[in-house]
Amino acid sequence: IRQPSSKSKPISMPVIGLGTAAEHNDVEVVKSAVIEAIKMGYRHFDTAAQYGSEQALGEAIAEALQLGLIASRDDLFITSKLWCCDNHPHLLLPALQNSLQCLKLDYLDLYLIHWPISAKPEKRYMPYSEECLVPFDLKGVWAAMEEAHRLGLTKSIGVSNFSCKKLKNLVSFATIPPSVNQVEMNIAMQQKNLREYCKAKDIIVTAYSPLGAKGTKWDINQVLDNELIKQIAQDHGKTAAQVCLRWLFEQGVTLIPKSYNKERLKQNIEIFDWSLTKDDHEKINQVKQDRMFKDGPAGFPLPDLFDGET
Ligand code: A2P
């Protein structure tokens, strides 16, 4: 996907990336999944300071270069994210430097504000309670993001888990507008309004949990077990996961399915040589909608986290 012209430099971003958010990230498991993924043609990898996968991803990239699986680091698109405890103007650059060090890289392709909330600097680990949070200085943090971009530490900058209301506010003062908003999006959280707004503002939407975070404690919608999706999959001779991913692709978003399994990694990029029908789309539009991450990372209700947007 190529972001159309806007005040910031347009970015090109591979449609499918490998997500690395998992409840537990084992270095060797992540590393071998990334190497396998690169061999299969994945060029986009999504990580975050919070996931515990930056180190393994960095090792895998170094090994892929050494093995000649890729000619240069520039062949990859690497995203990382600023964690809530570093969501303060003076802590952003050190946090980004730390991510770069873990990844053994000298620049990111995309750096995102992970959540629109700030935790006290010493509160790196969840669970959070209300006393852990402090007011979020978006203007100051975004200025630090722009500085990171100017310093060449990241080719583009963006946000994650921002509502339309929060994006509108950001766009109203940003010198460099966000390139991306990464949000929960799948057949059970279709994000129609947010996508329309992002399209109008040339902001690329990246869908996290495209398979509904199958198998995790957040998996409330069971999208891969949805009977309609299973039926559509059967009609096309595809898997339920491929139907979910193809549907996202046809919405014009980028997507980051997570799998550390060779067969499923392969399955998840084989979505480009077939398409869903109009009838499939009409049925998928009717799927009951529900957000998994209602309380964000805080684990308790924050009434303005998504500003009442569904
Ligand atoms: P695994 O790593 O064992 O493949 P999401 O991308 O929505 O966060 O979902 C990730 C979850 O979905 C992981 O538990 C992953 O398990 C599982 N998964 C990924 N790809 C597939 C697939 N093609 N079929 C079934 N499950 C999948």
In this prediction, residues 47-71 reach a mean pLDDT of 98
Output the pLDDT for position 52: 96
Please report, for the chain, the start and end positions of each structural domain, with discontinuous segments joined by +: 18-216+253-259
Degrees to nearest 5, angle at CA 233 with 228 and 236: 130
**Residue 192 burial (CB < 10 Å; 0-12/13-18/19+)?**
exposed
Residue in 259, 260, 269, 271 to alter for ligand 1 test, most ligand atoms within 8 A of Cβ: 259
- Residue 242 tokens read as 């491929």
Sign of the Cα pseudo-torsion (190, 196, 198, 204, in order): positive
**CATH number given to 18-216+253-259:** 3.20.20.100
185 pocket-lining for ligand 1 (C-beta < 6 Å): no
Which atom of ligand 1 is nearest to 210's Cα? 7
Q: Tens digit of pLDDT for each residue in 150-183?
A: 999 999 999 999 999 999 999 999 999 999 999 9
In the predicted model, is pLDDT for residue 4 greater than 70?
no
CA atoms of 139 and 230, how far apart (whole Å)? 45
Position 298 pLDDT exceeds 90: no
Residue 166: how many other CB atoms lie within 10 Å: 21
Q: Say how many Å lie between the CA of residue 54 and the centre of ligand 1.
A: 19
Query: What pLDDT score does 220 carry?
Result: 85
116 lines ligand 1 (CB under 6 A): no
The helix/strand/coil state of 79 is strand
Q: Whose CA is nearest to atom 12 of ligand 1?
A: 214
CB 148 within 8 A of CB 290: no
pLDDT in tens, 114-124: 999 999 999 99
> Interface pTM (ipTM) of the complex?
0.98
Q: Is 236 annotated as a binding residue?
A: no
51 in catalytic set: yes
Distance from residue 197's CA to the centre of ligand 1 (Å):
29
For the Cβ of 264 lying below 6 angstroms from any atom of ligand 1, the answer is yes
Distance 7 CA to ligand 1 centre (A): 36
Ranking 65-74, 104-113, 294-303 by mean pLDDT, the lowest is: 294-303
Query: Is 222 close to ligand 1, i.e. is its CB under 6 Å away?
Result: no
For the Cβ of 267 lying below 6 angstroms from any atom of ligand 1, the answer is yes
What's the gap in Å between 191 CA and the centre of ligand 1?
Answer: 21
